[in-house]
Chains A and B, each alone.
Chain A
Amino acid sequence: EAAVTQSPRNKVTVTGGNVTLSCRQTNSHNYMYWYRQDTGHGLRLIHYSYGAGNLQIGDVPDGYKATRTTQEDFFLLLELASPSQTSLYFCASSDDKNNYAEQFFGPGTRLTVL
């Protein structure tokens, strides 16, 4: 049973569209992360969260909002999608109990903004 799941797996929207990407983890981890992966840039952190209601800004937050509603669920919101946000988005979770434990990644969501 996959411990980090993402939905949808693929999404196509138009410029100006409103998109919500969902992530759920069943690892009982406190930390959750949203990354985008683009050719030539590797993984770049958008937002991350320590727990329900907590939100921390990552390295490339512009144009993105996020919300952590429960320990399990972390959402990434694009309220006015732009073509520059066409990317592969990964969610991840990690356990802080032993400091810097492994990050577990979801399968990714491929977003296309036309």
Chain B
Amino acid sequence: GQQVKQSSPSLTVQEGGILILNCDYENDMFDYFAWYKKYPDNSPTLLISVRSNVDKREDGRFTVFLNKSGKHFSLHITASQPEDTAVYLCAAGADTGYQNFYFGKGTSLTVIP
């Protein structure tokens, strides 16, 4: 089964708005959680990540919240801008001796000016 699931294939928000992207995972051994951003015809780049020893990490307009008991993490984007328009991929992994990550299918975000 799919290890990491993103509930929304797409989202649209007005410029300046707040949005939340959600990700659920299966393996309660996962201890690393990340959000990657991908523009069309470009490769993914890391946006923000968090380890399981914290439940929140903030970086400017971007905040990731982790709910380990619910096996859920989310990305909050405030003051959204047209340049935020992209595909957002969540990823999670566990230390099994080898580093391996599972990616969600992605959420396509459109910010309308």
Contacts and interface: CB of A to CB of B under 8 A. Distances in A.
Interface of A: 31, 35, 40-45, 48, 50, 56, 58-59, 90, 94, 96, 99-100, 102-103, 105-108
A40 B101 CA distance: 18
A94 B43 contact: no
B49 interface: yes
B105 interface: yes
B46 A42 contact: no
Interface residues of B, number: 24
A42 B95 CA distance: 22
A112 B44 CA distance: 21
Given A43-B44, A45-B103, A48-B99, 10 more contacts: A41-B105, A42-B6, A56-B98, A90-B44, A94-B99, A99-B32, A99-B95, A103-B101, A105-B44, A105-B45
